[in-house]
A and B are shown apart, each in its own frame.
Chain A
Amino acid sequence: QVQLVESGGGVVQPGRSLRLSCAASGSTFSSYGMHWVRQAPGKGLEWVALIYSDGSKKYYGDSVKGRFTISRDNSKNTLFLQMNRLRVEDTAVYYCASDSSTHGNGAFDMWGQGTMVIVSS
């Protein structure tokens, strides 16, 4: 199974950008679809984005569509989330999670520990 470690979180002003990374190790990263899921403080889970194992397709939640971009580098076993035009309501812990399938039609098998993003002026 893949092990996942997120990085790149921090405090950022509204309207600015941030790039999150998720480093994978242990298993074959390129075999799995990958997701970003976020959790606002004290709230539930919100799916953010999916990328297929080969990067051929990407899907986004409505709240981030047009502002966030998911990508991956299979040669470096790394997943990314480029977050632009950040809003206060984007404040959350961001988790990367591996799908149990190549195309995102499986359960979220493994999760990283998460990285906190705080959007505040």
Chain B
Amino acid sequence: DIVMTQSPHSLAVSLGERATINCKSSQSVLYTSNNKNYLAWYQQKPGQPPKLLIYWASTRKSGVPDRFSGSGSGTDFTLTISSLQAEDVAVYYCHQYYSTPWTFGQGTKVEIK
């Protein structure tokens, strides 16, 4: 199984400041035949289901604010919120869909400082 490890477990950021979440996979999720990283990011607010933010490691889903961006390749990935807003308070999960069983990181809780 591919183990997804996120860091930090939680972080507190001031409004308008940058938040950075890291995700490391135990093996590469880059499919060389199409040069795509099978890595997604989700946002989950309390009492709500997860919501897809980023797929293919760096493609923002339609309607997601452009302050959210994803980067990385192979085994190391980053989700960046460029200017934290109050509505961004949530838990964020990375997810690999490269191979079964599909696995998620343990989540990173983002709060306002």
Residues of A participating in the B interface, judged by any CB pair closer than 8 Å = 35, 37, 44-47, 50, 59, 61-62, 95, 100, 104-114
B105 to chain A, nearest CB (A): 8
Contacts of B55 in A (CB 8 A): 100, 106-107
Q: Is B77 positioned at the interface, with any CB of A under 8 Å from its CB? A: no
Contacts of B105 in A (CB 8 A): 44
In the complex, the answer to whether A112 meets B49 with C-beta atoms within 8 Å is yes
Pick from B49, B50, B93, B101 the residue with the most CB of A within 10 Å: B49
Contacts of A47 in B (CB 8 A): 101-104
Residues of B participating in the A interface, judged by any CB pair closer than 8 Å = 38, 40, 42, 48-52, 55-56, 61, 93, 95, 97, 100-107
Residue of B nearest to A62 (CB): B101
In the complex, the answer to whether B50 meets A108 with C-beta atoms within 8 Å is yes
Complex A-B, nearest 8 residue pairs according to Cβ-Cβ distance, in ascending order: A107-B55, A107-B40, A111-B49, A47-B102, A45-B104, A44-B107, A59-B100, A44-B106
